[in-house]
Amino acid sequence: MFFNFLVYCMIRKIFTPILVTFFVLFDITFNNSLRSHPSEEKFDFTPFSNEYLSNDILVEEDLMSFERSINQFIRNWGVAGASVAIAHEGKLVYAKGFGYADVENEIEMQPYHLLRVASVSKLITAAAVMKLVEDGKLGLNQKVFGEDGVLNNPLFRGYIDERVEDITIKQLLNHSAGWTTRWGDHLFMNQSIARQLNRELPLGKDDIIEFTLGKRLHFTPGTRCSYNNFGYLILESVIERVAKTSYEGYVKRNIFNPIGVFDAFIAHNHDSLRYPLEVRYYEVPEAELVPAFDGQAKQVLKSRGGNDIRTLGAAGGWVISSVSLTKFLLSIDLYSKETILSKKSIRELTNTEPGFHPLGWRWVSRSGAKWRTGSFAGTSALAISQSNGLTYVFITNTSPWVGARFPYEVNSMLARALRGVDRWPSIDLFNPNSINNQNFVEVGEGEEVLQEERALSWDFSNLV
């Protein structure tokens, strides 16, 4: 094991300059096409210097049964690939890829690969909002629309329902602002919106907001909640207005970069515009082709240009590695030694009021366990932070036929598989120096998932 690691390091030393040159040239060459949004800031893609987290690093007999469960699961569900990361008491004790990141080119999934995480992005957005609240730039009870609202410019004054003026930041976060998906998901009906607005594709988020404000609310804000993407699209505009920068730029500089995460980006839509180290996305064999999101005269898979993931942005547009997503979860964990938010803000995210969703999280159990799921064509993600010190992430580059229910299937499988793990390596894969000192530590029994609740440091600053 140690010899293999030395060989790996030697190879990395030889080829890193070549990879750096390739990625920099890639970014320069395709900069305009990769970053085509007119309001979007330009960010250089910085190549990884710590790709030491390969599947060969952690090979332990004690975990073979756990890994067999995952391999069997992805085979049974026809999943091309999955990335798994597990932290125990703040240390990254497991990181591995299963299956393929790119089936066509036979590229195996590795823990450093980037994947779309769909609605797990909402938790990232909620953390960004709380950061602005902490800095005194925003208030949870602050009004969003109207003369005294955050978005009080003419673009957002065309609403026909006066109740819109009562919508607060918190109501957008907990899905109680007044919108449902009764007539469809606003973020996945671009063709219809474009026809009704007599606009050409592709649409931007301002077009979608303008269209929706031109309709009546489905219920009075604050009276109940209904899960939807649209509220988080508005939050993206709120963050940009208050922070005076792009949403992506604010999150990178104030949430991700301070905790050592540099491999997170807002996704592009077409397969040809994937980031370096980003996986390819797959759907069920019988998936139908749909019109391209941008009006091009071609039929494509939803996961490869049919859905506008980039405009989904704050509601579901992030791509990130499972390792870095785990690090983010730890940074908003009440019991972590170092957090990106204050304890008060972290409690606010997990506070649940009867009949309403928590902020950013999908569910919070009575025991303190927290779930966040995400799904759309080509992607399924599950992020769980338990109160027993275990935090884990499972992301796939495939969307099985059960759609949004798939994360619950993953949850059930992982709950069973984790119960069979008696101990984890006493290492911290966030720190490469700990890899050669692998021992095992006993872990307590995994938290039971209530039946009703089933419904590295990437240190490459030297390359910046």
Q: Which residue has the tokens 């275990």?
A: 390
Looking at the fold, whether 442 and 388 belong to one and the same domain comes out as yes
Q: 310 with 269: CB under 8 angstroms?
A: yes
Q: Which is it for strands 363-364 and 282-283: parallel, antiparallel or unpaired?
A: unpaired
The predicted-structure confidence for 50-83, as pLDDT tens digits, reads as follows 467 889 887 777 899 999 999 999 999 999 999 9
Q: 189 with 134: CB under 8 angstroms?
A: no
Residue 12 confidence (pLDDT) above 90? no
Looking at the fold, whether 116 and 140 belong to one and the same domain comes out as no
Q: State percent of the chain over pLDDT 70.
A: 83
Domain boundary among 226, 243, 260: 243
Tell me what pLDDT residue 61 has: 79
Residue 89 confidence (pLDDT) above 80? yes
Domain boundary among 243, 265, 285: 243
Tell me what pLDDT residue 34 has: 35
Looking at the fold, whether 279 and 369 belong to one and the same domain comes out as yes
By CB atoms closer than 10 A (0-12, 13-18, 19+), residue 135 is exposed
Domain that holds residue 141: 127-243
What number is the average pLDDT over the span 38-57? Answer: 55
Looking at the fold, whether 119 and 132 belong to one and the same domain comes out as no
From 46-55, 164-173, 197-206, 254-263, the region with the lowest mean pLDDT = 46-55
Q: 369 with 385: CB under 8 angstroms?
A: yes
Q: Which residue has the tokens 């506008």?
A: 308
Residue 38 confidence (pLDDT) above 50? no
Residue 400 confidence (pLDDT) above 70? yes
Residue 305 confidence (pLDDT) above 60? yes
Residue 21 confidence (pLDDT) above 60? no
Domain of 446, CATH number, reads 3.40.710.10
Tell me what pLDDT residue 243 has: 98
* DSSP per-residue letters across 4-59: HHHHHHHHHHHHHHHHHHHHHHHHHHTHHHHS--TTPPP-PPPPPS-TT--TTS--
Hey, what amino acid is at 34?
L
From 26-35, 217-226, 247-256, 425-434, the region with the lowest mean pLDDT = 26-35
Tell me what pLDDT residue 443 has: 55
Looking at the fold, whether 82 and 156 belong to one and the same domain comes out as no
Residue 202, preceding bond cis, omega within 30 degrees?
A: yes
Residue 10 confidence (pLDDT) above 60? no
Looking at the fold, whether 315 and 421 belong to one and the same domain comes out as yes
Looking at the fold, whether 275 and 414 belong to one and the same domain comes out as yes
Q: What three-state secondary structure class fits 313?
A: helix
Residue 16 confidence (pLDDT) above 70? no
Domain boundary among 218, 243, 268: 243
Closest listed residue to residue 208, CA positions, set 184, 227, 226: 184
Q: 357 with 370: CB under 8 angstroms?
A: no
Residue 449 confidence (pLDDT) above 50? no
* DSSP per-residue letters across 55-110: TTS---GGGHHHHHHHHHHHHHTT-SEEEEEEEETTEEEEEEEEEEEETTTTEEP-
**Residue of higher predicted confidence among 367 and 133:** 133
Looking at the fold, whether 194 and 113 belong to one and the same domain comes out as no
Q: 190 with 207: CB under 8 angstroms?
A: no
Query: In the predicted model, what is the mean pLDDT of the chain?
Result: 86
Looking at the fold, whether 118 and 10 belong to one and the same domain comes out as yes
**Model pTM score:** 0.86
Domains in the chain: how many in total? Answer: 2
By CB atoms closer than 10 A (0-12, 13-18, 19+), residue 284 is middle
What number is the average pLDDT over the span 88-94? Answer: 95
Looking at the fold, whether 139 and 162 belong to one and the same domain comes out as yes
Closest listed residue to residue 131, CA positions, set 247, 3, 35, 299: 247
DSSP character at residue 113:
-
Looking at the fold, whether 299 and 426 belong to one and the same domain comes out as yes
Tell me what pLDDT residue 426 has: 87
What six digits make up the tokens of 153? 């410019």
Q: How many residues does the chain have?
A: 464
Looking at the fold, whether 326 and 386 belong to one and the same domain comes out as yes
Residue 204 confidence (pLDDT) above 80? yes
